[in-house]
């Protein structure tokens, strides 16, 4: 890859896992981490996820040729403003944010000429949180979406995509708008449903929760602040996903009201057949 | 336990797993299986899940002191009518059905005096189907709900509960009505949501499905006919669960429409805190 100095801004589960993977795969690259909590930086150093730690984002990107934003999406603007004046010419900046329209627009607005931004969304992670759970293998086999625009430098795009490939990811390119629209359906809506399903339950029903309930609500245990950022940032798309989801429920409700046994079966069988085509 | 002859009516995943567990735990008990497909009976015999096979439910319960209905709920009435004339006095009959009001009422109506019915719902299983996936350990650690009524024989209830305990289950007693109401919330609604979530997706979004989507929709791969029976049988409760669920979504939608960032966060954090109290 030729990377000499990688700066990871935010060393949580994703940032820490990137650090561990790079330490394993790229011998000649120095990994620098930024985090606002000293305890997190110390843990990242102790785990070998980073080699140098900085309590300042600006200092952490000093002389870095590759920078990855791994903080919550809600503070991306702030971090971009801090690093913009100190990035070296030719530096490539990417991110791991779960929404892309606002992130890409902010990066293209705030970063100086000669610094190349490419939006990324590596779809790895879990409901767990923090560098403590970081693993070098976190990204293997998972999908990473890049979101180039008319302003994206083709060489930088290639470098960023090669980076994620090196970590074992399968690359998909989407526009920021298409990313946000599709992710509302396959990621943000499922989280909203899981949280609503947990919220709905009476206390006395929780001991009756079986494997099906646990599987279908696992994501609801994820960090509230992080998901708040995603929901609010992508609220137009998420509201449209919710609207279309309610149409699905209305349809099922109408079939149940009519005791249309055959149509209920067809509806369930179509969903089952489709789900069976995906990974277990 | 003192069981001499156990009759399993329906040797699929649950019936087959009961057979394997009993063969392992009760040396003196003969396990007889009924199924309408000869191939299934042969596979159950070959796997050691049953020792004798019968293509007739009536013949399979001949001289049995313990009978478990494991067919889909939709044909329970038919099976009860077939076995009612031939059950021996003192025989105990239970079931593994996912709905309980209709099952318990049918059993109390159709079974003759001197035969004791106890409704059971062992909450084990998976989206997989068939005796091929049967495992003796399927029930270990899972919850089993029994649904006694004023007509339930206390000694029969104790025997049935001891049977499920022997298989490693944790027992909970509920009335049939409370069972169906709570299970609509913790089991039938989650299945409906998972199926609706799969149905909603555009084809081009499916390759973007990550671990969260896969977890939250896993149950949607389950057998359509079996879930049709459950949905239709429990449609009053399921429709009420759907109604209350839509109120949750309406609330989230209103918070997003108002960009009420703090309230979105509180809603997500309350769900996360609650989900974290359950098994992962």
The encoded tokens of residue A242 equal 């919710």
Query: Mutate which of A102, A133, A217 to test chain B, going by most B C-beta atoms within 10 A?
Result: A217
Q: Identify the bridge partners of residue A5 per DSSP, sorted by sequence position.
A: A30
Write down the residue that tokens 């979101």 correspond to: A147
Q: How far, in Å, are A203, A210, B99, B217, B246 from residue A217 at the CA level?
A: 15, 11, 22, 10, 17
Interface check for A208 against chain B (CB to CB < 8 A): the answer is yes
DSSP-derived pairing of the beta strands B120-122 and B116-117: unpaired
Of B185, B193, B212, the CB nearest to A201: B185
Comparing alpha-carbon positions, the chain B residue that sits nearest to A194 is: B216
**Residue A117 CB neighbours (<10 A):** 26
Q: What is the pLDDT of residues A56-95, one digit of tens each?
A: 999 999 999 999 999 988 899 999 999 999 999 999 999 9
pLDDT at A9: 98
Q: How far, in Å, are A182, B8, B31, B153, B240 from residue B27 at the CA level?
A: 56, 16, 10, 27, 46
Contact A186 B199 (CB under 8 A): no
Q: Note whether B48 and B128 are same-domain residues.
A: yes
Contact A66, A9 (CB under 8 A): no
pLDDT at B129: 85
pLDDT at A79: 97
pLDDT at A143: 96
Q: What is the pLDDT of residues B124-171, one digit of tens each?
A: 977 788 999 999 999 999 999 999 999 999 999 999 999 999 999 999
In the predicted model, residues of chain A with pLDDT beneath 70 are none
Which residues span the domain enclosing A58?
5-174
d(CA A229, CA A96): 14
Interface check for A173 against chain B (CB to CB < 8 A): the answer is no
Q: Identify the bridge partners of residue A146 per DSSP, sorted by sequence position.
A: A120, A173
Q: Note whether A201 and A120 are same-domain residues.
A: no
Last residue of a domain, one of A139, A174, A209: A174
Q: Note whether B14 and B68 are same-domain residues.
A: yes
Q: What is the pLDDT of residues A220-263, one digit of tens each?
A: 999 999 999 999 999 999 999 999 999 999 999 999 999 999 99
Contacts of A243 in chain B (CB under 8 A): 253
Q: Which residues contact B216 (CB under 8 A, 6 or more apart)?
A: A190, A193, A194, A215, A216, A217, A218, A219, B194, B197
pLDDT at A229: 93
Strands across the sheet with B30-34, in order? Answer: B52-54, B30-34, B5-9, B66-69, B92-95, B116-117
Comparing alpha-carbon positions, the chain B residue that sits nearest to A195 is: B271
Contact A187, A98 (CB under 8 A): yes
Of A205, A239, A248, the CB nearest to B196: A248
Domain CATH number, residue B137: 3.40.50.720
> Å from A52 to nearest chain B CA?
32
Q: Note whether B157 and B196 are same-domain residues.
A: no
pLDDT at A205: 97
pLDDT at A162: 98
Q: What is the pLDDT of residues B167-224, one digit of tens each?
A: 999 999 999 999 999 999 999 999 999 999 999 999 999 999 999 999 999 999 999 9
Contact A91, A64 (CB under 8 A): yes
Contact B280 A214 (CB under 8 A): yes
Q: Note whether A169 and A220 are same-domain residues.
A: no
Domain CATH number, residue B196: 1.10.3660.10
Q: Note whether A207 and A149 are same-domain residues.
A: no
Contact A69, A100 (CB under 8 A): no
Contacts of A188 in chain B (CB under 8 A): none
Last residue of a domain, one of B174, B202, B222: B174
Of B124, B193, B266, the CB nearest to A216: B193
d(CA B68, CA B101): 17
Interface predicted TM-score of the whole assembly (ipTM), two decimals = 0.92
Q: Note whether A37 and A138 are same-domain residues.
A: yes
d(CA B97, CA B88): 23
- Closest to B174 in 3D by CA, of B120, B255, B112, B134: B120
d(CA A267, CA A277): 16
The encoded tokens of residue B224 equal 């359509």
SS3 at position A121: strand
CA B267 to chain centre: 32
pLDDT at B126: 73
Contacts of B209 in chain A (CB under 8 A): 186, 278-279
Structural domain total, chain B: 2
d(CA B193, CA B241): 11
Q: Note whether B11 and B143 are same-domain residues.
A: yes
Contact B204 A182 (CB under 8 A): yes
Q: Note whether A254 and A148 are same-domain residues.
A: no
Q: What is the pLDDT of residues B77-131, one digit of tens each?
A: 999 999 999 999 999 999 999 999 999 999 999 999 999 999 999 999 777 889 9
Q: Note whether A206 and A91 are same-domain residues.
A: no
Q: How far, in Å, are B25, B64, B91, B148 from residue B166 at the CA level?
A: 8, 19, 19, 19
Q: Note whether B188 and B146 are same-domain residues.
A: no
Q: Note whether B139 and B50 are same-domain residues.
A: yes
pLDDT at A98: 95
Query: Mutate which of A120, A187, A208 to test chain B, going by most B C-beta atoms within 10 A?
Result: A208
DSSP string across A195-261:
HHHHHH--GGGGGG--HHHHHHHGGGGS-HHHHHHHHHHTHHHHHHHHHHHHHHHHHHHHHHHTT-H
Categorize the per-residue pLDDT at B1 as very low, low, confident or very high, splitting at 50, 70 and 90. confident
Last residue of a domain, one of A174, A205, A229: A174
Interface check for A171 against chain B (CB to CB < 8 A): the answer is no
Write down the residue that tokens 């049935």 correspond to: B160
């Amino acid at each position: 890859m030729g990377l000499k100095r990688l700066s990871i801004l935010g060393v949580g589960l994703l940032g820490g896992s990137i650090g561990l993977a790079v330490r394993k795969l790229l011998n000649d690259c120095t990994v620098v981490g930024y985090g606002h909590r000293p305890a997190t930086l110390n843990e990242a150093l102790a785990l070998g996820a980073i080699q140098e730690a900085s309590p300042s984002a600006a200092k952490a990107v000093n002389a870095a040729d590759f920078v990855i934003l791994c903080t919550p999406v809600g503070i991306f603007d702030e971090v971009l403003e801090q690093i913009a004046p100190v990035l070296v010419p030719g530096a490539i900046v990417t991110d791991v944010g779960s929404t892309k329209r606002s992130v890409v627009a902010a990066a293209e607005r705030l970063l100086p000429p000669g610094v190349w931004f490419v939006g990324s969304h590596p779809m790895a992670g879990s409901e767990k949180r923090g560098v403590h759970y970081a693993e070098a293998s976190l990204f293997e086999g998972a999908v990473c979406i890049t979101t180039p625009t008319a302003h994206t430098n083709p060489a930088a795009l290639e470098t960023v995509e090669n980076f994620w490939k090196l970590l074992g990811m399968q690359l998909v390119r989407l526009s920021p708008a298409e990313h946000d629209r599709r992710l509302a359906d396959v990621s943000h809506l499922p989280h909203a449903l899981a949280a609503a399903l947990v919220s709905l339950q009476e206390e006395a029903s929780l001991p009756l929760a079986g494997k099906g309930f646990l599987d279908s609500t696992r994501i609801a245990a994820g960090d509230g602040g992080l998901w708040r950022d995603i929901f609010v940032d992508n609220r137009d798309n998420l509201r449209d996903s919710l609207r279309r989801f309610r149409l699905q429920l209305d349809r099922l409700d109408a079939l149940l009201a009519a005791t249309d046994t055959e149509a209920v079966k067809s509806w369930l069988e179509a969903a089952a057949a489709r789900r069976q085509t995906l990974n277990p």
